[in-house]
Structures are given as structure tokens and as C-alpha cells.
Amino acid sequence: MKTQVFLIDYENVQPDLLSALALEEVRVFVFVGPQQTKLPFALVEAMQKLGHKAEYVRVTRAGDNALDMHIALYLGRLWHQMPDAFLHVISKDRDYDSILEFLNQPTKRVAKWPSLSEVPALQRFQAKTVSEQVEAALRWLKDRPKNRPASRKTLFNTLLKAVFAERLDEATINSILIQMEKQKALTIDEKGKVTYGSALGGSVG
């Protein structure tokens, strides 16, 4: 997966950043307005866990669209500096449409969302039911046609640690594997070898 970069307008969106912690490659920029003198502990804790991957950007002067202009500046800079990354603006404002249209030519690399929960890259961490978790796991496998686990043990550990970042217990991971077999997305033989079905491209491992 490409590096996922999040530029968050903290004046109008106060998201839970914990889901972003589980991404393999992530950068987070939280833009804070001049009137926001106190930040919640959950945000600070999540940012600390991200270490050098996270950065606060303090807008020191108030004014119409001042924070938006800072995000637009960073967006253009990061678009140039990180050509292999996908950039997400998290904001409820509608002032970015023309900028996004310009930056997405000829290849789409930028998108805007009103909340982190709507970002596809994070949706697997929002999945609550087994059905949603199976769908999220299958999406993850589809994105990696050349690098899929070849054994049940490796697939189990991959789902547990990489896909769901140890947010699910072992019983739930087993249920996900059972459901994927029932849907014929994959088969597991008596030796534990995994064969992927046509819906996932039919590759092994």
C-alpha cells in the first residue's frame, strides 16, 4: 500500500486517530487554529505513538480561511515531495475542490473526506461485524496479489497483526478464515496450504 498522508483540519473535524496507528506507512499532519489552546489527551497520545510520522501545524493568526490556506500549502508541497503517496484532506469545508481537481491530473492521488471513518484505507479498522471484517480482509488481500500468505499459520498471523493490528482476538480471526472458505475466496488443505480462489485472482501465497 502507498504511504497514506492525512492533513486534518482540527478546527472543524476532531477525529479519533487511533485507527491510523495500524497503517504500515502513514504520515499525519494536524492543523490547529489559534483559538485551540487545549488538545484532548486521546489526540496527544495517538500523535505521540506515531512519533516522527506525526506533526502539529499551528496556525498563529486568525482570519477567514487561514487554516485552509495552510493545508493547501502543505498539500501542494507534499504532493511534490512524496510522488508515491496518497494524500487525504480531512475537513468539512468545500474550498478544496478546485485544488484537488488540479492535483489529480493525470493521476488521482488526493481526496477529501469529512471524517477519517470514510477513508477506505482505514475502513478495515472500523469493521465491527464478522461480515464487515471478512470484506475488509478480502480487500487487503486483493491489494496484494503477489505477496499473499501461503500457509494458514502465516495468513492467521497476518490477519491478526498486519490487517487488524491485534484489535481482534484469535477466535474472531478463526471465524474470518472460516467465512472466507465458505465464500470460496480461498481453500486450506489438511497440511495448511492456502489456495486463493478466482475472486482473489487464483494465486497461491
Q: Where are the domains of the chain?
A: 4-122, 127-200
The CATH fold assigned to 127-200 is Arc Repressor Mutant, subunit A (1.10.10)
Per-residue pLDDT tens listing for the chain (205 residues): 678 999 999 888 877 766 666 677 889 999 998 888 788 888 888 888 888 999 999 988 877 788 999 999 999 999 999 999 999 999 988 888 899 999 999 888 999 999 887 887 787 777 889 999 999 899 889 878 888 999 999 999 999 987 887 888 999 999 999 999 999 999 999 999 999 998 787 655 4
Q: How much is the pLDDT for 20?
A: 66
Task: Give me the CATH code for the 4-122 domain, please.
Answer: 3.40.50
Flag whether the pTM goes above 0.85: no
d(Cα 31, Cα 49) in Å, to the nearest integer? 18
Q: How much is the pLDDT for 146?
A: 83
C-alpha cell at 186: 480461498
Given its phi and psi angles, is residue 185 left (phi above 0), alpha (psi -120 to 50 degrees) or beta? alpha
Q: How much is the pLDDT for 79?
A: 96
If you write DSSP's letter for every residue of the chain in order, what string do you get?
A: -PPEEEEEETTT----GGGGGG-SSEEEEEEE-TT-----HHHHHHHHHHGGGEEEEE--S--TTHHHHHHHHHHHHHHHH-TT-EEEEE-S-STTHHHHHHHTSSS--EEEESSGGG-GGGGGGT--SHHHHHHHHHHHHHT-TTS--SBHHHHHHIIIIIISTT-S-HHHHHHHHHHHHHTTSEEE-TT-BEEE-GGGTS---
